[in-house]
Amino acid sequence: MPGPMVEPGPELSNAYMPQNRPPGAEWNACPGSGGVGTDMPASTASLHRIPSVPLSPGDEVDVRVYNDTSFTGVFSVNMDGTLTVPYLKDLKVAGLTTDEAEKRFARALVDAGFYPSTSVRVSIKPKRWAPIQISVAGAVFQPGRALVGERKPEIVGEDQLGDSTPGRYLSYAIKGAGGIRPYADLRHVQFIRGQHTRTIDLTGVFTGAAVDDPPIIFGDRVVVPSSGCIQSNYIRPSQITPPGIRVFLSNLTVPAAGNAQSAVTTQATNVPYGTRLLQGAISANCVGGTRTVNAARSVVLVTRNPITGETEVVERSIEALVTEKYRDAVNPYLMPGDGLACYDSAVTNGRQVAGTISEILATYVIARGL
């Protein structure tokens, strides 16, 4: 059982909400972070311009040359980013849009002597977009290489052209890395392709402003920097945050002798992102019942400190979480992988002790009678 509980005031909440402290942060929350983000500048991205998706290794394209079947067919982009076509040298097409690939293909036909520059007509259309790998680092839950654009096999007709590719954009790459952490600096997301770096503002995902969401290709990198403080309005399901999280609950209490009897099921352990400790305690059936018996119960949060990487344990009184005026200051958000455990009140513990003593005495009397 953890040690005695300390009830901090709102000004000390940082010291008792370790999982909400980003590396290097002096304060727990960003100024104005409790609102809907109206203090954030709106993105200047166009609402109407949707950029074309560049080609990546594995993509399938339908190539057609007017009145010529020799160069017509469905081709896949090789792992080195080239397109292998009969009678031509391999063409480098990775990173090009289909319009740009058409021009390069036409130029290759002209340079090889198959057509004069005035009569060649080439069409290259997407047939099927492949999943790609991209590296995501910084303030995300699962930094590293993320596979985005993966989907179930589909039956595509031979004559069908075009393909939807929702997973081939920056926002999906970030979500593929587990989503942003609450201290992410969304105004300065770094999008790196080769030697070129763009700074992108993604705050519109939460404010409703237009968002510049560029298409990605194999080998791109994304770095989400830290703002040094918590943006509480980022702790909710969105396009770049987890829709839900998995927490570990334990409620071994009387009269329930196991988690199953306490209704701690799979549904209870999978909660929406943005769930707080009190809501998690309710999900674990730690709250409610007879006030005189259950009011003094407590809940323990086991979490990982993002600064040190060490496990920390925080205990809260159920009654304080329910009745305190400043409950939000002592009611942290749950993060993926957190653990919750419920402990009984002194009344329940005393009843258990008394029951145990009674059982021992009854056993002793029966033994003496024999």
Q: Write the pLDDT tens digit of every residue in 269-326.
A: 788 898 998 888 888 888 765 555 555 788 889 988 765 678 888 888 888 888 876 6
Among the listed residues 164, 161, 150, 212, the one whose alpha carbon sits nearest the alpha carbon of residue 186: 212
Q: Identify the pLDDT of residue 36.
A: 42
Distance separating alpha carbons of residues 205 and 202, to the nearest angstrom? 6
pLDDT for residue 22 is more than 60: no
Phi first, then psi: give them for residue 103, nearest 5 degrees. -65, -40
Answer with the residue of higher pLDDT: 358 or 184.
Answer: 184
Q: What is the rounded CA–CA span in Å between residue 139 and residue 223?
A: 8
Structure tokens at 30: 């960003």
Q: Average the pLDDT over 256-272 and give the result.
A: 56
Which amino acid does the sequence have at 246? R
Q: Peptide bond before 126: cis, by omega within 30 degrees of 0?
A: no
Element (H, E) at 340: strand 339-343
- Which tokens hold the place of 169? 């954009």
Pairing type for strands 248-250 and 339-343 reads parallel
Report pLDDT for 53.
Answer: 83
Assign residue 13 a region: left if phi > 0, alpha if psi is -120 to 50, beta otherwise?
alpha
Condensed to tens digits (0 to 9), the pLDDT of residues 28-68 reads 556 655 544 444 344 444 444 556 788 999 999 999 998 88
Is residue 137 scored above 70 in pLDDT? yes
